[in-house]
């Protein structure tokens, strides 16, 4: 019985290999039945992987300690939710989740396109199944989640397991990894269609139209995964750091950045038929960075807080990545003729140019993060000496880049497609620029001297004004025409072009997050040893530890400090930060912080234990941090708006000069659009 | 009565101030200042010695105690940092030093932006050049003209 999971994974691996050959040979030799059977193999391997996943979950929930994975990540006293989340709490289980999500995506893609893109689909299937076979190979051979504990030939169960890492026993850990994986894995679909399009020499942009929604959904999942992870770190690690520039965090950010660049530059291809090669490069880079991120997390190449234990799978990833990058590069170079731009740039002062700069800055940010992440490895290889590249490096390099990107977020919507005149730009930029400068001036007058903070707040206001102007201009026109009130007209405006106005909502979300990030410049903190009844001050708060309560349940023993919060002598709240000592495993500790959340600042307390009869309290004030989580909500809302079909279907006509009659004067420039 | 109330108020303020002094800051500001230049090498975080939040961290806690001792002896910040670098190597620093090969860490992102700008300049120059326009065969043009004439005659 205990081998059923492993057996189904072996069968799924064989079927995925069959699907690759069936698709390729079927298409090559023109045997439609082979292509069809390859597609059925995709469904079948999904079924087998679903069975294997269900088998593992059942083993986790029932504490089947014959399986090494279950014994390592579950203990009897753990709540059922965390027994379930232990599925992705370890290397083998999380690889199975990765592989299963890919199987789900592949089955959906094949089913959705069962009667569409018949030329391209066999190659799409083959691309998906090559990646699928790779991950199935990993969980079948070197990293099987179904390894059993045995003494000699006899399978033995241990009486209780080690339990899940206490830091992972938190509700958002039930959402963060699957959401992130939905993002990581999903980027394979646009990549597979891009490859299908290249291999079959598709003349048009059909792969872009097909994968537009996929990319957006995947980007949404990736964004959610990153931000939920940030929220988890903020609430669990005990020091309020939502982003630490750890290699694994960076690995999740890299494909998100290239995907964001792709979501912008793809508009150039849709509207102007430009940047086709670049879009191919971006979509491929996003996929490779997803695989690279997975490699970085699991190979132990760089030291990380998150990384799973060092494992032997690093070389597998290196080989897979090298082959894929080489094959993709060759394919793109070989098909350059099919990727020629259909239009030309009419003016440097145009929306097209702003997209170019947007892409440049995003890619520069991506490169600097990748460079900083890998530099310790590179430096050690060259100089033989280890170095540290920690948060201060990333902040110094990336803050200016991020501020420039924020500027472009505001500039882009103000510049027209094709060409803008200096006069129109002056008019468009007047109020947003004045607003940004005035706000920065007012904040300076109020005593803020942090240059980046002043710039950031000014730019945030600049972007907000540009977005507001865009909404107001359109809504006023609709209101004047239909007699609707302004709010109703704004909803109508958004519904008419959901992609554009949903995109603006996402820009507002980014601004909200920047407000939250900027607040970090004004953080306050104190770590104190406090006797019972003592008061101490932090900012405008007075805090008094009145009591330490202790207790125990099956899973952990706990102690929490009761801290009364006063402001101006008036009692305003009671916070109870807690410390836990888990009974399973090696008795690991974890903190449950207590936070008084307000939009202007969070008061954040961590109870770090007792020393010399006094409570060690870590108290922090995090100004504006709540805006990050608000921005997260706005980002999800904006992206969902983008996914709603527009009420008005816009056609972007592309005009090209096919030739000129003899005797007719040649045009000075070729017109696009 | 008023004098007594005043004394009582003074006593209350004095007791409050005394009580407030009972708590002690865990990390002295001077220790924190130096610690912010040194990486925490515990392997479980990516913080500096100055802001590592783990109270019993096996690297930062003793490192902070040593920094405190060295400050008490009157050593300068730079001298203290140099002691750690001598013992641990360059990895003791929170960021790579801007010298030798490690200069690349700082300059490569700038170089990437410059290369990107150059690429954009080249691309814009290329994309603004009109594409070579093929000469059109008069017979093709005549075909289109005939077609237009036919369509117009239908309209009439």
DSSP assignment string, A411-480: HHHHSPSS---HHHHHHHHHHHHHHHHHHHHHHHHTT---HHHHHHHHHHHHHHHHHHHHHHHHHHHHHH
pLDDT at residue number A670? 38
A579 burial via Cβ count (<10 Å: 0-12, 13-18, 19+): buried
Give chain A's residues under pLDDT 70.
1, 203-204, 300, 303-310, 584-587, 649-673
Q: Do B106 and A397 touch (CB under 8 A)?
A: yes
- The answer to whether B60 faces chain A, any CB pair under 8 Å, is no
What residues of chain B, 65 to 104, have a C-beta less than 8 Å from chain A?
89-96, 100-102, 104
Taking contacts as CB-CB distances below 8 angstroms, the residues of chain B near A376 are: 91
How many interchain CB pairs under 8 A, A with B? 180
pLDDT at residue number A104? 97
B74–chain A nearest CA distance, Å: 25
Prediction pTM value: 0.87
Nearest to B116 among A360, A371, A529 (CB): A360
pLDDT at residue number A196? 93
- The answer to whether A658 faces chain B, any CB pair under 8 Å, is yes
Distance spanning both ends of chain B, measured CA to CA: 113
pLDDT in tens, A97-119: 999 999 999 999 999 999 888 88
What are the start-end ranges of the H helices in B23-137? 29-35, 60-72, 77-88, 103-128
> Quick one: closest CA in A to B117, which residue?
A360
Separation of alpha carbons A421 and A430, rounded Å: 14
> Quick one: closest CA in A to B38, which residue?
A388
Taking contacts as CB-CB distances below 8 angstroms, the residues of chain A near B138 are: 661-662
Name the 3-class secondary structure at A283: helix
pLDDT at residue number A338? 83
pLDDT at residue number A669? 40
Interface with chain A: mutation pick from B52, B105, B132, highest number of A CBs within 10 Å: B105
> Quick one: closest CA in B to A542, which residue?
B20
Q: Do A531 and B23 touch (CB under 8 A)?
A: yes
Taking contacts as CB-CB distances below 8 angstroms, the residues of chain A near B144 are: none
Beta pairing, strands A570-575 & A556-567: antiparallel
pLDDT in tens, B65-106: 999 999 999 999 999 999 999 999 999 999 988 888 999 999
- The answer to whether A637 faces chain B, any CB pair under 8 Å, is no
* CATH-assigned architecture of domain B24-95: Orthogonal Bundle (1.10)
Complex prediction ipTM:
0.78
Nearest to B95 among A244, A393, A611 (CB): A393
Q: Do B109 and A357 touch (CB under 8 A)?
A: no
What residues of chain A, 525 to 544, have a C-beta less than 8 Å from chain B?
526-531, 533-537
Helices A498-519 and A626-643, axial angle in degrees (round to 10): 170
Segments making up each domain of chain B, as ranges? 24-95, 101-155
What residues of chain A, 100 to 139, have a C-beta less than 8 Å from chain B?
none
- The answer to whether B24 faces chain A, any CB pair under 8 Å, is yes
B156–chain A nearest CA distance, Å: 27
Nearest to B112 among A305, A367, A376 (CB): A367
Separation of alpha carbons A259 and A525, rounded Å: 36
- What DSSP designation does B131 have? P
Task: Tell me the average pLDDT of chain B.
Answer: 80
Nearest to B55 among A245, A371, A608 (CB): A608
Separation of alpha carbons A263 and A255, rounded Å: 12
> Torsion angle, CA of A38/A279/A202/A347, rounded to 10 degrees?
170
Q: Give every CB contact of residue A212 below 8 A, 6+ residues apart in sequence.
A: A266
pLDDT at residue number B114? 92
Q: Do B19 and A670 touch (CB under 8 A)?
A: no
| φ, ψ dihedrals at A188, nearest 5° | -70, -30
Within 10 angstroms of residue A658's Cβ, the number of other Cβ atoms is: 9
Taking contacts as CB-CB distances below 8 angstroms, the residues of chain A near B17 are: none
Given a contact cutoff of 8 angstroms between Cβ atoms, the answer to whether A537 and B22 are in contact is no
Q: Do A527 and B135 touch (CB under 8 A)?
A: no
pLDDT at residue number A179? 95
Nearest to B117 among A244, A360, A388 (CB): A360
A518–chain B nearest CA distance, Å: 19
Separation of alpha carbons A282 and A296, rounded Å: 20
CA nearest neighbour of A475 among A464, A467, A487? A487
Q: Do B120 and A357 touch (CB under 8 A)?
A: yes
- What DSSP designation does A342 have? S
pLDDT at residue number A35? 94
pLDDT at residue number A658? 54
Give chain B's residues under pLDDT 50.
1, 11-22
Nearest to A371 among B108, B116, B133 (CB): B108
- Which residues are registered as beta bridge partners of A477? none
pLDDT at residue number B17? 39
Given a contact cutoff of 8 angstroms between Cβ atoms, the answer to whether A287 and A189 are in contact is no
> Quick one: closest CA in B to A238, which residue?
B53
Taking contacts as CB-CB distances below 8 angstroms, the residues of chain B near A274 are: 127
Q: Do A368 and B101 touch (CB under 8 A)?
A: no
């Amino acid at each position: 019985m205990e081998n059923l999971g492993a057996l189904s994974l072996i069968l799924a691996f064989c079927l995925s290999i069959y699907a690759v050959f069936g698709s390729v040979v079927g298409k090559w030799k023109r045997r439609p039945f082979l292509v069809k059977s390859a597609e059925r193999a995709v469904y079948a391997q999904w079924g087998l992987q679903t069975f294997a996943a269900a088998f593992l979950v059942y083993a986790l929930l029932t504490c089947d300690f014959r399986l090494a994975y279950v014994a390592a990540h579950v203990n009897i006293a753990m709540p059922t939710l965390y027994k379930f989340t232990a599925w992705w709490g370890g290397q083998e289980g999380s690889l199975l989740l990765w592989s299963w999500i890919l199987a789900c995506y592949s089955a959906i893609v094949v089913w959705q396109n069962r009667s569409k893109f018949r030329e391209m689909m066999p190659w799409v299937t083959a691309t998906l199944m090559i990646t699928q076979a790779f991950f199935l190979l990993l969980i079948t051979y070197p990293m099987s989640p179904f390894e059993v504990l045995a003494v000699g030939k006899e399978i033995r169960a241990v009486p209780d397991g080690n339990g899940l890492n206490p830091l992972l026993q938190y509700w958002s850990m039930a959402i963060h990894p699957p959401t992130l994986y939905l993002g990581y894995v999903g980027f394979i679909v646009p990549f597979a269609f891009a490859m299908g399009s290249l291999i079959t020499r598709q003349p048009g942009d059909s792969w872009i139209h097909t994968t537009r929604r996929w990319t957006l959904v995947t980007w949404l999942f990736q964004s959610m995964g990153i931000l939920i992870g940030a929220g988890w770190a903020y609430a669990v690690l005990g020091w309020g750091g939502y982003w630490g520039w750890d290699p694994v965090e960076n690995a999740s950010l890299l494909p998100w950045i290239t995907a964001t660049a792709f979501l912008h530059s793809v508009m150039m291809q849709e509207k102007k038929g430009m940047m086709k090669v670049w879009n191919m490069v971006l979509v491929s880079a996003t996929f490779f960075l997803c695989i690279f991120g997975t490699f970085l997390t699991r190979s132990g190449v760089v030291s990380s807080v998150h990384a799973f234990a060092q494992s032997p799978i690093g070389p597998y990833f290196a080989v897979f990545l090298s082959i894929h990058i080489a094959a993709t590069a060759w394919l793109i170079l070989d098909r350059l003729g099919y990727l020629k731009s259909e239009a030309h740039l009419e003016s440097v002062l145009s929306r097209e140019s702003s997209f170019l700069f947007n892409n440049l800055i995003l890619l520069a940010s991506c490169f600097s993060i990748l460079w900083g992440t890998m530099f310790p490895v590179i430096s050690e290889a060259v100089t033989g000496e280890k170095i540290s590249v920690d948060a201060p490096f990333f902040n110094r390099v990336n803050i200016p880049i991020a501020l420039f990107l924020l500027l472009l977020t505001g500039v882009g919507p103000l510049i027209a497609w094709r060409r803008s005149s200096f006069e129109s730009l002056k008019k468009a930029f007047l109020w947003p620029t004045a607003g940004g400068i005035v706000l920065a001036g007012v904040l300076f007058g109020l005593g803020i001297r942090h240059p980046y903070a002043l710039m950031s707040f000014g730019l945030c206001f600049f972007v907000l004004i540009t977005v507001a102007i865009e909404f107001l201009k359109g809504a006023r026109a609709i209101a004047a025409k239909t007699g609707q009130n302004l709010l109703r007209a704004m909803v109508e405006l958004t519904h008419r072009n959901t992609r554009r106005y949903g995109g603006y909502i996402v820009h507002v979300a980014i601004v909200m997050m920047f407000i939250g990030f900027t607040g970090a410049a004004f953080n306050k903190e104190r770590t104190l040893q406090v006797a019972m009844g003592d008061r101490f001050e932090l900012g405008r708060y007075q805090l008094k530890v009145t009591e330490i309560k202790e207790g125990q349940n099956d899973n952990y023993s706990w102690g929490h400090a009761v801290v009364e919060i006063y402001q101006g002598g008036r009692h305003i709240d009671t916070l109870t930060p807690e410390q836990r000592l888990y009974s399973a495993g090696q008795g690991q500790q974890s903190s449950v912080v207590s936070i008084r959340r307000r939009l202007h600042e969070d008061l954040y307390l961590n109870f770090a234990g007792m020393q010399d009869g006094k409570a060690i309290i870590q108290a922090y004030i995090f100004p504006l941090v709540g805006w990050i989580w608000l921005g997260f909500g706005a980002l999800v809302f904006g992206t969902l708006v983008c996914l709603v079909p527009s009420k008005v279907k816009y056609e972007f006509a592309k005009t090209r000069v096919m030739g000129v009659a003899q005797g007719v004067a040649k045009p000075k420039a070729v017109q696009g659009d | 009565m008023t004098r007594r109330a005043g004394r009582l108020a003074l006593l209350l303020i004095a007791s409050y101030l005394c009580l407030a002094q009972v708590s002690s800051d865990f990390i002295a500001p001077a220790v924190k200042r130096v610690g912010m230049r040194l990486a925490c090498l515990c392997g479980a975080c990516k913080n500096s010695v100055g802001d590592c939040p783990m109270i019993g961290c096996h690297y930062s806690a003793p490192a902070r105690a040593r920094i405190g001792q060295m400050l008490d002896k009157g050593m300068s910040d730079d001298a203290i940092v140099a002691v750690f670098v001598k013992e641990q190597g360059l990895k003791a620093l929170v960021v790579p030093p801007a010298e030798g090969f490690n200069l690349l860490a700082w300059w490569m992102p700038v170089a990437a932006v410059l290369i990107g700008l150059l690429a954009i300049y080249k691309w814009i120059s290329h994309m603004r050049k009109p594409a070579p326009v093929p000469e059109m065969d008069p017979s093709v043009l005549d075909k289109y003209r005939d077609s237009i004439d036919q369509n117009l005659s239908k309209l009439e």
